Amino acid sequence: MMTYEERVRQSFSKQAFMSTLGADLTRVGQGRVEIRLPFSSKLTQQNGYLHAGAITALLDSACGYAALSIAADDKDVLTVEFKVNLLAPAAGEVFEARAQVKRAGQTLTVCSADAFAISGGSEKVVATMLATIMALPIPPAR
Amino acid sequence: MMTYEERVRQSFSKQAFMSTLGADLTRVGQGRVEIRLPFSSKLTQQNGYLHAGAITALLDSACGYAALSIAADDKDVLTVEFKVNLLAPAAGEVFEARAQVKRAGQTLTVCSADAFAISGGSEKVVATMLATIMALPIPPAR
Amino acid sequence: MMTYEERVRQSFSKQAFMSTLGADLTRVGQGRVEIRLPFSSKLTQQNGYLHAGAITALLDSACGYAALSIAADDKDVLTVEFKVNLLAPAAGEVFEARAQVKRAGQTLTVCSADAFAISGGSEKVVATMLATIMALPIPPAR
Amino acid sequence: MMTYEERVRQSFSKQAFMSTLGADLTRVGQGRVEIRLPFSSKLTQQNGYLHAGAITALLDSACGYAALSIAADDKDVLTVEFKVNLLAPAAGEVFEARAQVKRAGQTLTVCSADAFAISGGSEKVVATMLATIMALPIPPAR
């Protein structure tokens, strides 16, 4: 049987989009997950900042894995919905999404996450997410 | 002076992330914008569906450009926040985000958008967004 | 066995807060519900407009009952979360929330709703909601 | 000139809806506001819990006043939008909404708030809000 960290890491490694973005899983705790992404000019919006879609991808994966880290062994997770507030232009060398479980339920788990832009050792919050995640039975292997 | 369509197309062409995803601007009306994205295995989450971050990127850009299409000539737009509900697994050959302005204000514009998965001629809604966009004076050219 | 309209009307009649506000259920269709509220100076915020909490109460009940109107007979509904955009000052003689089911699922149903201010025969949208509703088995009578 | 606390208390006293609900302003700090509401059977939904609209009213007023507490003297505030997650049935003797400013901007301020149900000395979070508030010039007295 896998530990919660192995389950999270295995699932993350299957998210092709994370590898396309260049994102890494930097921390997996119980109910807490962090994902990092170095800036790339391929991920920008019209003013050269990181696109809100890229930031949202980090925040969403971090929230989903925070929920998965505390889910029962026979469950997978699925994002139901989220809200994102963009708090500052996403300018920085590296971006990090930090998610934590706010309330764990039988079926639904609510997570919050902040995204930080990190440059030269200092960091600044650039976005925040509030998300609802659903736990579902893992379908039997085919 | 540029038409609203030229402004939208020019800004879209500067969004490197849209070209990284493989997205195209398929319709620019006044207060209505559509963006298309062919499925790619590089954009998936752990079950092989399009990642919520990729869908959100489409929805967010479509909402922002719907707002830009009706903004004053001396204004640029910025996403303040959005909420996304994921309605069905994002499985399909092509995805299309369709955004429209719901309420245009002096400073803030509210847009809604749906994302559809299209396969073999039939389509299905997979996500919906409600977004707040801010109009800002364009900074003088440097 | 009750019809869907009877179920909705019976539940609404148990919402003491609706009667405290002075709200009425004005339409119950399958997947569509409308609730009306006459303006009262007891329900205002600091500028004399209807308080966002009162508008949200209408929108939330309308969304919940739109979901209940299509739920299985042995299910009750519960609001998981919602987002509200306030689009204009809530000034008017009467307010009406109109909700519809956007996507019905086994467990979760997504509804959208608009709130209108009506004065002298003309109406104006003042708020919009996007909500997630959960269907739950009705607990056995005690 | 009024202190920030006087401005918040004066505005709160004009919110007729707060007094209709029976709510009190229990704390006004810079960027932090708490509002309390004793349970009343007049404010319930169909199962006897506090209605989500009543909880949202508390959360919304708390967020708005947290933003007002740090706004410039010549500004009033207006809620642009909010998202609420309902985390547990709102059962308790007293409810308290606690809001804080998450990011203060020139025009827009983002606040978060939690609502707690308090019974017999212990408390439980029942809802959480993420809200966007706009600062506007106070219109000249008429």
Residues sharing a CB contact under 8 Å with residue A12, sequence separation 6 or more, in sequence order: A18, A25, A61, A65, B46
Q: Is the pLDDT of residue A142 over 70?
A: no
Instruction: Tell me the pLDDT tens digit for each residue of C74-107.
Output: 999 999 999 999 999 999 999 999 999 999 998 9
Closest CA to D127 of D141, D116, D111, D119: D116
Mean predicted confidence (pLDDT) in D87-115: 97
Mean predicted confidence (pLDDT) in A136-142: 74
Instruction: Tell me the pLDDT tens digit for each residue of D35-44.
Output: 999 999 999 9
Q: Is the pLDDT of residue C111 over 80?
A: yes
Q: Is the pLDDT of residue B136 over 70?
A: yes
Q: Is the pLDDT of residue A31 over 60?
A: yes
Write down the pLDDT at residue A138. Answer: 84
Q: Is the pLDDT of residue B115 over 80?
A: yes
Cβ-defined contact of B17 to A83 (cutoff 8 Å): no
Write down the pLDDT at residue D138. Answer: 85
Residues sharing a CB contact under 8 Å with residue A113, sequence separation 6 or more, in sequence order: A59, A62, A63, A66, A97, A98, A99, A100, A128, A129, A131
List the single residue in B with minimal CA-CA distance to A56. B53
Read off the amino acid at residue C106: Q
Write down the pLDDT at residue C12. Answer: 98
| Cα–Cα dist D120/D116, whole Å | 13
Write down the pLDDT at residue B8. Answer: 97
Chains linked to A by 3 or more Cβ pairs within 8 Å = B, C, D
Cβ-defined contact of B110 to C88 (cutoff 8 Å): no
Write down the pLDDT at residue D1. Answer: 79
Kindly state whether D104 is in contact with chain C, defined as any CB-CB distance less than 8 angstroms: no
| Cα–Cα dist A54/A37, whole Å | 9
Helical (H) or strand (E) element with C33: strand C32-38
Q: Is the pLDDT of residue C141 over 80?
A: no
Q: Which of A28-37, A131-140, B42-51, C46-55 has the lowest mean pLDDT?
A: A131-140
When CB atoms are compared, the residue of A83, A110, A134 closest to C83 is A83
Determine what percent of chain D is predicted with pLDDT higher than 90.
Answer: 93
Q: CB–CB of B71/B8 below 8 Å?
A: no
Cβ-defined contact of B80 to D83 (cutoff 8 Å): no
When CB atoms are compared, the residue of C45, C47, C60 closest to D53 is C60
Could you tell me the pLDDT band of residue C138, with boundaries at 50, 70 and 90? confident
Write down the pLDDT at residue B140. Answer: 66
Instruction: Tell me the pLDDT tens digit for each residue of D58-85.
Output: 999 999 999 999 999 999 999 999 999 9
CB atoms within 10 A of CB A103: 19
Q: Is the pLDDT of residue D51 over 60?
A: yes
Instruction: Tell me the pLDDT tens digit for each residue of C12-22.
Output: 999 999 999 99
Q: Is the pLDDT of residue D140 over 90?
A: no
Strand partners, A3: none
Mean predicted confidence (pLDDT) in D28-54: 98
Kindly state whether B85 is in contact with chain A, defined as any CB-CB distance less than 8 angstroms: yes
Write down the pLDDT at residue C139. Answer: 73
Kindly state whether C78 is in contact with chain A, defined as any CB-CB distance less than 8 angstroms: no
pTM, 2 dp? 0.96
| Cα–Cα dist A32/A114, whole Å | 12
Chains linked to D by 3 or more Cβ pairs within 8 Å = A, B, C
Q: How far is A98 from chain B (nearest CA, A)?
A: 16
Kindly state whether A137 is in contact with chain C, defined as any CB-CB distance less than 8 angstroms: no
Could you tell me the pLDDT band of residue B130, with boundaries at 50, 70 and 90? very high
Write down the pLDDT at residue A131. Answer: 98
Q: Is the pLDDT of residue B139 over 80?
A: no
- Which residue's structure tokens are 């088995």? C137
Backbone angles phi, psi at D125, to 5 degrees: -75, 130
- ipTM entry: 0.96
Cβ-defined contact of B86 to A81 (cutoff 8 Å): yes
Write down the pLDDT at residue A139. Answer: 72
Write down the pLDDT at residue B141. Answer: 61
Angle between helices B4-14 and B52-68 (to 10 degrees): 150
Mean predicted confidence (pLDDT) in A105-117: 97
When CB atoms are compared, the residue of B102, B125, B130 closest to C103 is B125
β-strands A122-137, B24-29 pairing: unpaired
* Contacts by residues B44-49 (CB-CB < 8 Å, ≥ 24 positions apart): B44/A15, B44/A16, B44/A17, B45/A14, B45/A15, B45/A17, B45/A61, B46/A11, B46/A12, B46/A14, B46/A15, B47/A14, B47/B89, B48/B91, B49/B89, B49/B90, B49/B91
Q: Is the pLDDT of residue B142 over 80?
A: no
Write down the pLDDT at residue A140. Answer: 66
Q: What is the mean pLDDT of chain D?
A: 96
